[in-house]
Amino acid sequence: MINEANNVAGKTPDRSLIAYLSILVILCTGFIVGAKAMGEKGLYLAQAYMLTPALAAVLTRLFFYRNKFSDARLRLGKVKDYFRFWLFSLLIAAASFLVFYLIGAIKWDFTGETFLKNLAEQFKNSGQDINSGLPEGVTPKTMMWLLMAGQLTVLNIVPGLITGFGEEFGHRGFMYTRLKEHGFLLSIIVGGLIWFAWHLPLQLLIPAKDDFSTTQTILNYFILAIGSVCTFAYLVYVFEKSQSIWVVSLAHIVINNASAAFSYFIILENQLLANAGLTITMLLVLFFGPGHYLFKIFKQQKPDISEQN
């Protein structure tokens, strides 16, 4: 009787996970097809695409998951966790740019002129003026510094939490926890690879400008896949330590925002090296930081899965 109950309990994560992934694929396909049909205006849907994991998780929890939202970890968490993971994620982003520089992927341009020049060219190509729409007396350079200040502080973190939550509520808050029932290492590797694959359709909306050979393209995807698994592991660490979906959403958006802010002051020399640098950074972060804690979870995880559902 106990074994039978365990078998039944073991099936629920499978059904709910399959439901989540199926709904996610349908939603992502709909967003991409709709965006392509809208042409240039469809680029606005790229931001909404980030909400598909949360939408898939909500639908799955409502209709295919016994526990509904009881284990969604929607509690706000501790104030100190917000601060320490904001700082930790900020340092990770800064460290990645230092690695980029050390391996020759970038050059520094602390004036920001190269970024502004490229931005002005993009505006020109779309028939617009970079100065149009700016408040009187505000130059593009001033706006760049203001935007950077916002991206490194709470000024831009709060709206960013929406897209951060969109990914985390689905990928970490549901997919990871379901996969974890079948093995912690599996949840990190498979979860990270699914997370990586989920990003790929966005290239249909915003094609990469890299001029890679076939060999370089394969190598690039391999590097990015490893980097995604490592980043996934870091966010799992934040999720497990804080037990709050909001804290991990913050950590996620801080890395994104800080990386965007730092990019204003670089000249990209080699995209493939930069992608490799990001993977190297995350491997170092795991080795010197969360890796020990994650390994402890791996060792402590019991072989049976009868505790859930």
3-state secondary structure 78-126: CHHHHHHHHHHHHHHHHHHHHHHHHCCCEEECCCCHHHHHHHHHHHHHC
CB 199 within 8 A of CB 24: no
**What pLDDT score does 176 carry?**
96
Judged by average pLDDT, the poorest of 147-151, 153-157, 189-193, 200-204 is 153-157
pLDDT tens-digit profile of 1-40? Answer: 333 333 334 444 479 999 999 999 999 999 888 888 887 6
Confidence class for position 163, pLDDT limits 50, 70, 90: confident
206 pLDDT higher than 80: no
Q: Quote the DSSP letter at residue 46.
A: H
Note the pLDDT of residue 292: 85
65: pLDDT strictly greater than 50: yes
Q: Where are the domains of the chain?
A: 73-300
How far is Cα 104 from Cα 64, in angstroms, rounded to an integer? 49
Mean pLDDT of 199-221: 85
Encoded amino acid at 78, one letter: K
**pLDDT in the model for residue 59:** 97
- pTM of the shown model: 0.88
pLDDT for 12: 44
pLDDT surpassing 80 at residue 283: yes
User: 200: which residues sit within 8 A by CB, 6+ positions away?
Assistant: none
Q: Give pLDDT tens digits for 110-124.
A: 999 999 998 888 777
**Lowest-confidence region among 38-42, 70-74, 178-182, 295-299:** 38-42
How much is the average pLDDT of 132-142? 82
How large is the average pLDDT for residues 152-166?
76
CA dist., res. 306 & res. 25, Å (int): 29
Percent of the chain's residues with pLDDT above 70: 89
User: Predicted confidence band at 105 (pLDDT cuts at 50, 70, 90)?
Assistant: very high
